[in-house]
Amino acid sequence: MDSVERQASAARVKQVANALEEEIVLGWLQPRERLIEEDIASRFEVKRHVVREAIAELERMGLVERVQNKGAAVRMLSPTEVRQIYFVREAMETLAAQQIPLPPLSETIDTLVEIQEQHAAAVERGDSRAAFRVNMSFHNALFGACGNPHLVEIIQSLAQKVHGVRSYTAASPAHLARARDDHWAMIEALKASDRDRLVQLCWEHLSPSRDTYIASLEQRFGKTG
């Protein structure tokens, strides 16, 4: 395989991995649902090795797990795992908010406003797939303003681990509207150099997806941790 073919194959792997990631987040692929290579290859019109590599990438992200004698399946985090991960997310994201220089650079505000206008437009037209991607861009830009790339890397990694937790809320109009309003409020807090308000918003922003996921699991399986 020459370099052009390798690049084309890598692009296809990324395309399939991104699409499956979105389907997990949006609840189109449910926790514990099997990922059948043959079906995925047929759906995306790619070879099986591309699907295998895409699934391996999702496994590295923590979205997929190998089930003995069953192959790959969407990972279902337990309530305990979710609480533990979100506990660390709260600590890291509020820490990043505390490190953002105030008053913020005008470029920071301009970037956030531009991204959030795209997010608001996606919410308005009910495009949950686009809203998911732009939502990630918003938070990357927001926390990136803290100036610590190592902290940002940790935040992004933790967010990826719990993508599946958002499967109950990512396509919900009510939750999308709340996220949109939260984002605008964060921008206003930055403009006002109100750090306490910004930190509080970042902390509160995490709870809807976490609480909805845990409540749904406990309703299905009982309160077993």
What pLDDT does residue 223 have? 67
Q: Are residues 49 and 88 in the same domain?
A: no
Q: Are residues 119 and 169 in the same domain?
A: yes
Per-residue pLDDT reduced to its tens digit, 37-75: 999 999 999 999 999 999 999 999 889 998 877 789 998
What pLDDT does residue 93 have? 98
Q: Are residues 95 and 164 in the same domain?
A: yes
What pLDDT does residue 62 have? 86
Q: Are residues 85 and 173 in the same domain?
A: yes
CA distance 156 to 139: 9
What pLDDT does residue 92 have? 98
Give the number of other Cβ atoms within 10 Å of residue 62's Cβ.
18
| Residue at which a domain ends, from 54, 74, 94 | 74
How many domains is the chain built from? 2
What pLDDT does residue 7 have? 83
Q: Are residues 105 and 22 in the same domain?
A: no
What pLDDT does residue 1 have? 57
Cβ atoms of residues 218 and 136 within 8 Å: no
Q: Are residues 157 and 188 in the same domain?
A: yes
What pLDDT does residue 100 have? 98
Q: Are residues 192 and 133 in the same domain?
A: yes
What pLDDT does residue 205 have? 96
Residue 68 tokens read as 């003995």
Q: Are residues 13 and 101 in the same domain?
A: no
The low-confidence residues of the chain, meaning pLDDT below 70, are 1-2, 222-225
Tell me which residue range forms the domain holding 101. Answer: 79-221
**Which CATH number does the domain housing residue 42 bear?**
1.10.10.10
| Residue at which a domain ends, from 17, 48, 74 | 74
Q: Are residues 216 and 105 in the same domain?
A: yes
CA distance 177 to 30: 23
What pLDDT does residue 66 have? 87
Cβ atoms of residues 9 and 24 within 8 Å: no
Q: Are residues 51 and 135 in the same domain?
A: no
The residue whose two tokens read 């008053």 is 103
